[in-house]
Structure 1
Amino acid sequence: MTRFARREAAVREILESTPPVVPPDLYADALARGSRMLRRRAAARRVLWVLLGAAVVAFTVWALTVRPWDQPPSDTTPPVTGW
């Protein structure tokens, strides 16, 4: 028997058998689990947005106080005075 024939026989056996009995409270459990998952994802998304906003604010405050774009004063040569 070839692999294709074995697969076809297995599929026919599955299709011709009676479907398994589904518990009656399965729908309610799945619905509760799904809504709980959605609430957790939404809460995690909100927390991540808040953390991102806090990081942007912290970076902005740091950049405005430190001013990293300004050149630091040169300490290698003293200022030339009295020529």
Structure 2
Amino acid sequence: MNRPEREAAVRRLMERTPPQVPPDLYPEAVRRGGRLLRRRTAARRLLWLLLIAAAVAFTVWALTARPWVEPPSQTTPPVSNW
């Protein structure tokens, strides 16, 4: 299909009357959109809650386990000059 044929096809499409939209389409779209927004908001809040809970759990673990402190020696050093 060359350019003039495409332009003619587009003109024919644009000259036709648009199809009739069902009258209940708008309220249905608003209802579904609202539900989608509520689900996204709930998912975002849940993810933030999980992130905060993980941060708190890591902080509590780090404060109790102290992974930055060198562990105590398991053997005693040899005794000399006794």
TM range (shorter): 0.7 to 0.9
Q: How many residues align?
A: 81
* TM-score computed with the length of structure 2 as normaliser: 0.88
Cα distance in 2 between the residues matched to 1:45 and 1:16: 45
Determine helix, strand or coil for the equivalent of 2:59.
helix
Identity over aligned pairs, percent? 63
1:60 aligns with 2:49: no
Determine helix, strand or coil for the equivalent of 2:29.
helix
| 1:40-62 CA distance string (max 9 Å, x none) | 00000110010001000110011
1:12 aligns with 2:11: yes
Gaps of 5+ in 2: none
Cα distance in 1 between the residues matched to 2:5 and 2:57: 64
Which residue number corresponds to residue 46 of structure 2? 47
Q: Which letter does structure 2 place at the counterpart of 1:65? A: T
Which residue number corresponds to residue 76 of structure 2? 78
| 1:8-58 CA distance string (max 9 Å, x none) | 111101100110000001000000000000000000011001000100011
Regions of 4+ moved over 6 Å: none
* TM-score computed with the length of structure 1 as normaliser: 0.87
Cα distance in 1 between the residues matched to 2:66 and 2:73: 16
